[in-house]
Structure 1
Amino acid sequence: MPRGARLDTPGTLHHVMARGTEKRVIVVDDDDREFFVERLGAIARATETKIYAWVLMGNHIHLLLKSSEDGLSTFMSRLLGSHASNFNKRYQRSGRLFENRFKSIVCEEERYFLKLIAYIHLNPLRAGLVKSLEELASYPWCGHASLLGLEHHHWQEHHAVLELFGSTESEAQQGYLDFVASELMLGEQPTLLGGGMLRSAGGWAEVLSKRQRSKQQFSDERILGSSEFAARVIDEAAEGAKSQLPTQENRKETQEILKSMCDREGVSMGALMGGCRRKECSGIRKTLALQFIMEMGISYADAARMLGISASAVNQIVRRERQLRQG
């Protein structure tokens, strides 16, 4: 079943994952890696997005971040679009570099903030790219070394993480290291990779226990957190949707998203708006029609003009999606 609309208000904590198409590589050498990290920092600063943890692997990325007024979709479209454009140009390739839709999970900060930081930063060790925590401390393609003061990424939110481990820098860094070591002993922790009741409750045993106690549970695959947290996030999203208006500001945002996706797919905006019937164009239209209408409050007419189709075609895309979600 299709994933629901993204849940995002400014200040929302997201665990974001983006993977190469068909699990193909998204970086080949250190020049590619340096470009990605530079763009990550530059776009985080430009959009005031807070980055707490990150890792760049061979064919995927993980980020733990808080979205800003610009929104998660704008941030990720700029990041993935610029990297894909550079990669395609450098290796004389075309088409999608990343899977069509990045994955984002809204996370309950109190319960999962530190565990997700450790999980994300331990990826290179679990994948065998480094052999020990000592080697991980000097690994340049994740945020772990920066928290230890061995790399310098001014855009990474060091203080917000380290203050949770101690009152002095050395004490906090040692506390952080001890915590990461303890999390490593827990193994893969697949419950941190998504949302829903099973993950949030800690497994079927806990779910069944709560059911036996007649405790009502609320869950959503887009949310990692308690039943109460999930219900609150959904309520806030519903209220936000009611108040969304198609302002000049989010029209500008849609243009940026449109350009980034066209760059990523190797399609010119002129071809798209001119009625291009290629598979890539159809995919862009479907993805962005849903995002523009259901997440950003853009009118059917405005979305149609930007996507090179009629308002009735946009309406059909949205109606089919809603029917699918209703079962």
Structure 2
Amino acid sequence: MPRKPRVEYAGAVYHVMSRGNRLQKIFRGDADCAMFLTTLGEVCQRTGWRVHAYTLLGNHYHLLLETPEPNLVVGMQWVQSTYTKRFNARHRERGHLFQGRYKAIPVEAGSGYFSTLATYIHLNPVRIRGYDFDKQRLVDYAWSSYPAYVGKAAQPEWLNFHRVLSELGMADTPAGRRKYAGYMAGRVEEVRHSAQPWKADEAWQRIRRGWHMGGEEFRQELLERVGGALKNARRQSFSGGEVQAHDEACAEQWIAKGLKALGITEAELAGLRMNGPEKIALAWLVRRNTSMRTTWIKARLGMGTATCFAAFLKKLEEARKGDWGHDAWRAVRSIQ
């Protein structure tokens, strides 16, 4: 089954999330939560990881995780397999505990992305259906890093406050933590009065559905890293939003090369016939050098439904001097 490529590099930050197999509980009580945090602390000691925020919630968990060394994969393999063994031993069970592969979304450090994710993770308990805003307090949810942030629980050695607080303009001091508590109280009220609590912040949809969290420059850097990962393995082995974005970027590069070879601009391309030889030549170039689907190629080049798409490609390849499409074919066929 195709899988998402793992992007690893020194200093990378990730939003990591994993669920129980068939949505079963991976934390059946306080003892399981404590055992997971012990395991998390051990992997941080082994790998040098820094955790900036976490929440454990019944059938899943969230981490805001920094890896000073490019060791996400080996560390996650250890922590999930070790916790599974300990969970199964404790409950006298066997088999898989987690649902498939964990999700690890690269995060740009800076420009508000770091603190946005920490807020999202810390607010998870109040977005649970049935949460009583009048009787429950966020700080009373023990299995989150939030109580430690505001001085109501001990801070583990592997938990770091500074980057989240500093991005919000707050110091890692008692006064700064009080300011953070006030900030979070305001965010809880936003969730409370929202008709759709999971959408109280427009950035949360990107967190839930996107393949990265950051700006355009960061996205381009990640696409280059994804390209490096794909070079060392079979392309068919991977899928996901980051792979689609990488493939589209590659296709755009080939289209730009083709337009230059044909001597036309994007504006001129839009004005050509849907099955014009120039568009067919560009389609051939993209099909030959990328994994983009025909539907994307047709839409990108403004080719309509193009029901005879394959026939036109074949006609182009067989064109001789003086035939339809020969000039366009000659212009693009040797592009490297």
- Paired with 1:321 and 1:130, the residues of 2 have a C-alpha distance of 45
Q: Could you tell me how far 1:5 is from its partner in structure 2?
A: 0.5
Give, in whole Å, the separation in 1 of the partners of 2:152 and 2:42: 20
Cα shift at 1:322: 5.8
Higher mean Cα deviation, 19-28 or 2-11?
A: 2-11
Q: Quick one: distance in 1 between partners of 2:143 and 2:22?
A: 22
Alpha-carbon deviations, 1:278-306, whole Å to 9, x = none? xxxxxxxxxxxxxxx64xxxxxxxxxxxx
Mapped to 2, the partners of 1:167 and 1:25 lie a distance apart of 37
Secondary structure, aligned partner of 1:188? helix
The letter of the residue matching 2:6 is R
Bigger shift: residues 132-141 or 70-79: 132-141
1:192 is the counterpart of 2:204: yes
- Aligned CA distance change for structure 1 residues 193 and 2 (closer, same or farther; 3 Å): farther
Structure 1 equivalent of residue 216 of structure 2: 227
Tell me the CA shift for residue 323 of structure 1. 9.8
Separation of aligned partners in 2, 1:51 and 1:130: 29
1:64-75 correspondence to structure 2 within 5 Å? 64-75=64-75
Computed over aligned residues only, the root mean square deviation of the Cα atoms, in angstroms, reads 3.0
- Tell me if 1:177 matches 2:166: no
1:160 is aligned to 2:163: yes
Q: Distance in 2 between matches of 1:19 and 1:175?
A: 32
Quick one: structure 1 residues 129 and 37, their matched pair in 2 at CA, closer, same or farther if it must change by over 3 Å?
farther
Q: Which residue of 1 aligns with 2:139?
A: 137
The amino acid across from 1:230 in the alignment is R
Q: What is the Cα deviation at residue 176 of structure 1?
A: 1.4
> What is the letter of the counterpart of residue 198 of structure 2?
E
Aligned to 2:117: 116
Give 1:139 deviation, angstroms.
2.2
2:237 equivalent among 321, 324, 327: 321
Contact in 1 for aligned 2:51/2:65 (Cα 8 Å) = yes
Partner of 1:315: none
Moved over 6 A (4+): none
Unaligned ranges ≥5, structure 2: 192-196, 244-290, 294-336
Residues 143-154 of structure 1: pairs in structure 2 closer than 5 A = 143-152=145-154, 153-154=156-157
Whole-angstrom CA distance in 2 between matches of 1:323 and 1:222: 11
Secondary structure of 2:140's counterpart equals coil
TM superposition shift of 1:111: 3.2
Conserved? CA contact 1:26–1:97, under 8 Å: yes
What are the Cα deviations for residues 25-51 of structure 1, in whole angstroms up to 9, with x where unaligned?
001121111100111122112211110
Amino acid at match of 2:119: A
Counterpart residue number, 1:283: none
8 Å contact from structure 1 (residues 107, 225) kept in 2: yes
Asked if the contact 1:105/1:223 (under 8 Å) is kept, the reply is yes
Of structures 1 and 2, the one scoring higher in RCO (CA 8 A, sep 6+) is 1
TM-superposed CA distance for 1:55, in Å, is: 0.5
Q: Contact 2:161 / 2:172 at 8 angstroms: preserved in 1?
A: no
Q: Which has the larger radius of gyration?
A: 2
TM-score by length of 1: 0.62
Deviation of 1:161 after TM superposition, in Å, equals: 2.6
Please report how far the alpha carbon of residue 188 of structure 1 lies from its aligned counterpart in structure 2 after TM superposition.
1.6
Contact 1:105 1:222 survives alignment (8 Å): yes
The CA deviation string for residues 140-185 of structure 1, in whole angstroms up to 9 with x for no partner, is 2010011112212221002333334434613311221233233331
Letter in 2 for 1:235: E
Contact 2:115 2:165 in 1 (8 A): no
Q: Equivalents in 1 of 2:107, 2:7: separation in Å?
A: 11
- Quote the residue 1:31 is aligned against: 31
The 3 A distance-change label for structure 1 pair 235 and 123 is: same
Contact 2:33 2:143 survives alignment (8 Å): yes
Figure out how many residues of one structure are paired with residues of the other and give that number. 231
Identity %: 29
Q: Which moved more, 1:10-19 or 1:222-231?
A: 222-231
SS at match of 1:69: coil
Quick check: 97-106 or 68-77, which moved more?
A: 68-77
Residue deviations 1:87-136 (CA, integer Å, cap 9, x gap): 11122222110011001111222231111111101111221567469732
- What amino acid does structure 2 have at the position aligned with 1:232? E
Could you tell me how far apart the structure 1 residues matched to 2:239 and 2:105 are?
23
